[in-house]
Structure 1
């Protein structure tokens, strides 16, 4: 057990995190979007998620791919290296390594180091239960720049969701092990039926335990995978209620916490925050020079950035995902396979398939209630996975969205 003095010493050195993208990747993407309004219609896959394996040491109630056992014929060691080289050759700047539990893949550190040595910023999405001090140091030594640890509730809430009585203790200790070697950490919290009334308590605990140094991001449980069998799916209204709890605890930082409702963001406060941060060392690493000129006038900084990046869902715009056997999808929760890298290079799948061509033009092609919504410019049409899993059409409106005053809007 660490003493309070030891914890304070660690927190003095702990770096801030900005989520999966990391600072360098986010800066490159934002720079492109600010300089060219059609950037996301022509850019290569700048950020790639790779599920290394289906193997997992937990059995989470909401897991979108019902992970547990490795699949037959997952990519080989050499296929993995070839894939990473392909990404480096075609402009990928960031990656998210996930699973299953990615640390169970024996090639994990080799692949991470290879990618980092080829200019790709690596983030890891993990349940945290395997990250002791030695593993944390190996992660840093291999060039990983950011770690996402999944925590869905306090103590028994998290343990029940994850299916293991030790899950919470190990995950929270992993954060300390990562902070100790100065690794940025983001906590990912999936809101579902089992924790929807405990989100505020978790936020308060994380702030208290880690001195506000943990960046927490939220997502709603999706209508796919194990959640469909365990009763964890919640309604749009229930998630909106939870988002109000999140906003009450974090205030304007709902912008950074993946709250999907732009009307909940305090634009004036966020504008003041960005204008302050942009001149700090953190801001200079994150925001490209272009933002400085845009902020000379009266434009709201939050509106400038949200308008440039086009909402929370980046599937198919600059982001793509690949499963353990090489299947390529826009999002891990959107089960439409565009191709397989064993049959066609990723860059060809990216530019030549209907799925990605549709998603690059989604603002013009999404139908229903989203088409004429005044928030379309900021939200980008919401979640394409929810649209597909509910309607069977990834260009349908987001079924979980509730605008202010309800539908119809206008």
Structure 2
């Protein structure tokens, strides 16, 4: 396998959804976050997990839900730092300014947050003042010399036309961030695909990515799970795509279940639970469905397959195909949009 050949780093990072709790109820939340689950890992179990990650010499990305709503998170952040486990944070940013005295105590390798659009639109979806809190959070982590600052925008039909306004704001106020544009996926609260994009929307988004990238002053790219679209649409650099789910990264759910990718979470896709086995054991002996990863049958004959490697694993589980059949309308697929 690629691991045995030494061609891949064994484990780049682990994303741990520390809680399902969140004060927002975004309509397209992939985690369907809201109330905390009754079976979430307790502090002692979390410490044992961090001890195990320290032995693997990997990085830990705290996410959720909204991870900062977990009361013991400041302790777990410090605990991970003391165990020499590099930490990153995926947060909606709302609580960052008020908790900054604790958050600033450790170095961070990454801060990942979200903006739905310009201030009025973002605040209408989240809460009044939330846009300004995200911007303040980015400023704080930037001053803290956090190496990677990521802003993700989940793109759907309601906010597609607002992207140029948001681009100008980010470019003017936080030009050091990386801005990822991620087409909405039919997961979580958006499982019925109410916010879905069609082929024309996707081409318009590709035009924006090219336009923003050429404008300079701000690094703009497809969201990680959709960067396989780069060679298809000629936007965002055209670099080969690699999905690391189950190969170089994985996720841990709030109850301790280990999965290759939380975006397509399904109990049948669980590799194990750290309450029954150590994470390191699960990582070394699970994930057979990912290792080695053969291209799906639907990819046979696709000229882009060598570059994209089958695209996003989660999207393949959700829809059974990537965006290529939808975009390839010139190849006798006039009804491609129905594949959505």
For Structure 1 versus Structure 2, the TM-score category normalised by the shorter chain is: 0.7 to 0.9
Taking the TM superposition and a 5 Å limit, the aligned residue runs for 1:279-294 are none
Structure 2 counterpart of 1:119, from 84, 107, 112:
84
TM-score normalised by length of structure 2: 0.84
Unaligned regions of 5+ residues in structure 2, if any? 334-340
Find the residue that maps to 2:50 and give its secondary structure.
Answer: helix
Q: Verify the 8 A CA contact 1:136 1:178 in the aligned structure 2.
A: no
Asked whether 1:340 is paired with 2:273, we answer: yes
CA distance 1:350–1:372, shift in 2 (3 Å): farther
CA distance 1:382–1:230, shift in 2 (3 Å): closer
Q: Verify the 8 A CA contact 1:384 1:398 in the aligned structure 2.
A: no
Structure 2 counterpart of 1:76, from 42, 46, 65:
42
CA distance 1:199–1:400, shift in 2 (3 Å): farther
Post-superposition CA distance 1:23-51 (Å, at most 9, x none): xxxxxxxxxx9x996523xx533310000
Higher relative helix content: 1
- Equivalents in 2 of 1:72, 1:44: separation in Å? 32
Structure 2 counterpart of 1:105, from 64, 70, 74:
70
Asked whether 1:398 is paired with 2:328, we answer: no
- Equivalents in 2 of 1:408, 1:345: separation in Å? 50
- Equivalents in 2 of 1:402, 1:229: separation in Å? 18
Deviation at 1:63, TM superposition (A): 0.4
Deviation at 1:255, TM superposition (A): 5.7
Coordinate RMSD, CA, aligned: 2.8
Post-superposition CA distance 1:71-105 (Å, at most 9, x none): 0021010100100111111242x221101110111
Asked whether 1:261 is paired with 2:209, we answer: no
Unaligned regions of 5+ residues in structure 1, if any? 1-32, 271-301, 392-396
Q: Verify the 8 A CA contact 1:55 1:67 in the aligned structure 2.
A: yes
Count of equivalent residues: 322
Deviation at 1:126, TM superposition (A): 0.4
Corresponding residue for 2:251?
321
Post-superposition CA distance 1:156-200 (Å, at most 9, x none): 2212333x2332122222222333333342111111222122122
Corresponding residue for 1:95?
60
Find the residue that maps to 1:197 and give its secondary structure.
Answer: helix
Post-superposition CA distance 1:371-406 (Å, at most 9, x none): 332322322211111221224xxxxx3256656775
Asked whether 1:145 is paired with 2:74, we answer: no
Corresponding residue for 2:212?
249
Asked whether 1:156 is paired with 2:120, we answer: yes
Corresponding residue for 2:338?
none
TM-score normalised by length of structure 1: 0.71
Q: Verify the 8 A CA contact 1:188 1:216 in the aligned structure 2.
A: yes
